[in-house]
A = this chain, B = another copy of it.
Amino acid sequence: MNILDWNTLDPVRQAAALERPKLLRDAKLLAEVERIVRRVRKDGDAALLAYAKRFDGATPAALAVSEAEFRAAEKAVAPDIKRALKDAIGRIRRWHKAGMAKGFSVATAPGVDCGRIIRPIQRVGLYVPAGSAPLPSTVLMLGVPAKLAGCGDIVLCSPAQADGGIDPVILVAARLCGITQVFKTGGAQAITAMAFGTASIPRCDKLFGPGNRYVATAKQYVQGLPGGPAIDMPAGPSEVLVIADRDTDAEFAAADLLAQAEHGPDSQVLCLSDDAGKLADIIVAVRRQTARLPRAAILRKSLRHARFIRTASIAEALALSNRYAPEHLILAVRKAEALLPQVQAAGSVFLGPWASESLGDYCSGTNHTLPTNGAARAYSGVSVASFQLQISTQRVSRAGLRAIGPCAETLARCERLDAHAQAVRLRLDAA
């Protein structure tokens, strides 16, 4: 954790300073995923159960979570967690609802009304990983917008635990979101099942959710197969970029960097400032706080990718941020609001000292499923629109045809598409 002085670096070192850790996605991984996809498409549920045993050490009695299991989960989860889930759902719903797209119709010429109608994607598949701990927040971040979108069929897959069940918090969160089709399967096998269907698991039109490199690779792979589903976005390790100035609270900034770093050994954190002293303070705080945290082993690994960069100005820091396009951007500076207009590419922006990134992960209301690994240059986070279709419409009267038909005919002839021209000409002759 050294401080790099941006303006003393040559362009090669500058590029290296903003480079992400290499993803561990090699040919061997892809071959393994291909094998799993083939087997699940061939053997269906039997393959899912075999993989549950092999990868998760689990032998669930059935793939589908039963009503009895949902009821047992309700009893098992502490009231304060239930309350927190409900509170979070309320705010997540408020933000997502406010951002929903609406249908419209506009006259583009007399007698020509063009519009858009919004429809839910019919069947969506949500993936919820289960590693060392349950991730109910993933359920909320996918389940709430899916419901608001009006999706009729919501399928959720999560790996079975060693006891053959799914963590009760996941089940309670699913029910609170109105999701009842929950299946005990994980990894590339769950992705394949939702992509192409099995006897138990219905085939889904679009897949959502985070996961390890098997899951991420499988999502990208099935998306490219003939008849494969759409996916929310490409997935990479989580990352944060903090912009600090001399007013930044070093302890807060360090805590935000560590919150990101604890996701996994390949997570990346960057801290940019025009104040070298502040960067030094933040590094000291990171070291001190790390020692107190239980995931110190992961932290030490991911902090190897950390970057502390001194820039000539806050404007330069923001320019670098736009170039890096971070998943999370924390403007921990005194005049955060004044910087926002300059933000060009990021997943989500946090303004000012109190806006901890953790709040966005759980319950400020925004979605935490965000583009990583530079994808924030071209992708946006999950929203209700991610679960919807926008279908264009055109209503054309006889007068409308007369108004715009000749234009269409001219352009069709220019493209030498005579049948296109004729479809208009026949009508013009009859109109």
Contacts and interface: CB of A to CB of B under 8 A. Distances in A.
Interface of A: 23, 25, 80-81, 84-85, 87-88, 91, 94-95, 98-99, 101, 104, 106, 108-109, 112, 114, 116-117, 119, 121-122, 132-137, 169, 205-206, 220, 224, 226-227, 229-230, 249, 251-252, 255-256, 258-259, 261-263, 289, 293-295, 299, 337, 340, 343-367, 370, 374-381, 383, 385, 388-398, 400-401, 404-412, 414-424, 426-427, 430-431
B206 A422 contact: no
Contact of A106 (B94, B347, B379, B381): B94
Contact of A391 (B343, B390, B423): B343
Given A134-B415, A404-B363, A252 B423 contact: yes
A111 to B, nearest CB: 8
Contact of A347 (B87, B135, B349, B391): B391
B262 A88 contact: no
23 contacts: A114-B365, A122-B377, A135-B415, A136-B414, A136-B415, A137-B415, A169-B414, A220-B224, A251-B426, A262-B420, A293-B422, A350-B396, A351-B394, A354-B400, A355-B396, A358-B408, A359-B394, A359-B396, A360-B394, A362-B408, A363-B404, A366-B394, A367-B392
Contact of A295 (B25, B137, B357, B419): B419
A408 B108 contact: no
Contact of A358 (B220, B350, B378, B421): B421
Given A85-B411, A349-B392, 16 more contacts: A80-B410, A81-B410, A84-B414, A114-B364, A135-B415, A258-B423, A259-B419, A262-B418, A293-B419, A354-B431, A356-B427, A358-B408, A359-B396, A363-B407, A380-B388, A381-B392
Contacts of A230: 375, 378-379
A404 B87 CA distance: 9
Interface centre among A104, A256, A391, A422 (most CB of B within 10 A): A391
A202 to B, nearest CB: 13
Contacts of A400: 354
Contacts of A421: 358
B411 A84 contact: yes
Nearest to A380: B390
A175 to B, nearest CB: 16
Contacts of A395: 337, 351-352, 355
Contact of A87 (B356, B367, B392, B407): B407
A188 to B, nearest CB: 16
A372 to B, nearest CB: 13
A94 B289 CA distance: 55
A385 to B, nearest CB: 8
Contacts of A418: 262, 293-295
A102 to B, nearest CB: 9
B122 A405 contact: no
A420 B337 CA distance: 24
A423 to B, nearest CB: 4
A104 B366 CA distance: 12
A329 to B, nearest CB: 8
